[in-house]
Structure 1
Amino acid sequence: MTDNSLRLDHVVLWVADPAAATGFYERVVGLEPVRLTEYTAGEAPFPSVRVNSETILDLMPRAAAERVASLTGTADSAGHPVNHVCLSLPETDFDALRTRLQEYAVPVSDLAHDSFGARGPARRSFYFRDPDGNVLEARHYD
């Protein structure tokens, strides 16, 4: 489907400690927290981080997996991490992210070249894990 009205709204990542995960995504990945204050005050069930103006990552506590599975009607599907989420960045932000991850001693994979994605082959990409084991890919296109 190539309809420009279709957008990615959010991805749910299962985490042990949503506040700590939010800190990782803010400090290391550079994403802005959403509803963290409300979460820590007990007013929201989970915090999120903003990828762009249209997309967020929900940082859902693993403890909520059974309730979410019941809510979505998908028994045994909740609480399992996705294979990976890919973040597309401009080249300078890509390089800055890789540097920040290394400064925080977050292991990163070797660089890959020309891996296929939503916009065709990416010039460079690499993988890393958040503290909960979720795998993220960072890439940039020409």
Structure 2
Amino acid sequence: MTSTRLDHVVLWVADPVAAAGFYAEAVGLEPLRVAEFAAGKVSFPSVRVNEETILDLAPHDFAGHMRMVPGSADSAGHPVNHVCLALPADAFDALRARLAEHGVPLSDIGHDSFGARGEAVRNFYFRDPDGNVFEARHYDT
């Protein structure tokens, strides 16, 4: 590894099992540790974005364990502004169709939105069932 990478983002969710189901079925991400969470063996499940990045799905009652810096426990229920997923064009189209099939409200398609790799060709936004906002985009044509 020669550069800094994004390892994970922790999202606060009301029901981690339901959230994992949403991300697996509607978004197409691989669920991780869901059975272990349901059995009480781990504190939260996750979903895999790619080989290097996951989203942790933390239940609100996990906030008491967030003591790494003062005030961390107070973050429960405060979603970030949004998380952006960059996809190839075909996966972008497939995600939009899958979300629509699941009845997820979608923003209009935007164009030329700036991001980590410059101007994206297309983008759109959606919310998960807990109100976390996601942007999907692609840079290639």
Q: Taking structure 2 as the reference length, what is the TM-score of the superposition?
A: 0.94
Q: Could you tell me which runs of 5 or more consecutive residues in structure 2 were left unpaired when the two chains were aligned.
A: none
Partner of residue 69, structure 2: 73
Q: Is the 8 A contact 1:124 1:140 kept in 2?
A: yes
- CA–CA distance in 2 between the matches of 1:9 and 1:108? 27
- Counterparts in 2 of 1:9-48, with a 5 A limit? 9-48=7-46
- CA–CA distance in 2 between the matches of 1:5 and 1:61? 31
Partner of residue 94, structure 1: 92
Structure 1 position 33, deviation (Å)? 0.5
- CA–CA distance in 2 between the matches of 1:16 and 1:92? 31
Q: Could you tell me which runs of 5 or more consecutive residues in structure 1 were left unpaired when the two chains were aligned.
A: none
What is the RMSD of the two structures over their aligned residues, measured on CA atoms? 1.3
Say yes or no: does 1:133 pair with 2:131.
Answer: yes
Q: What letter matches 1:63 in structure 2?
A: D
- CA–CA distance in 1 between the matches of 2:65 and 2:54? 21
Q: Taking structure 1 as the reference length, what is the TM-score of the superposition?
A: 0.93
- CA–CA distance in 2 between the matches of 1:93 and 1:50? 15
- CA–CA distance in 1 between the matches of 2:40 and 2:64? 19
Q: What letter matches 2:30 in structure 1?
A: E
Which portions of structure 1, spanning 4 or more consecutive aligned residues, are displaced by more than 2 angstroms? Answer: none
Structure 1 position 5, deviation (Å)? 1.9
- CA–CA distance in 1 between the matches of 2:96 and 2:70? 36
Say yes or no: does 1:114 pair with 2:112.
Answer: yes
Report Cα offsets for 1:101-130 as digits up to 9, x if no partner.
Answer: 111110000111010011110000000000
Structure 1 position 82, deviation (Å)? 0.6
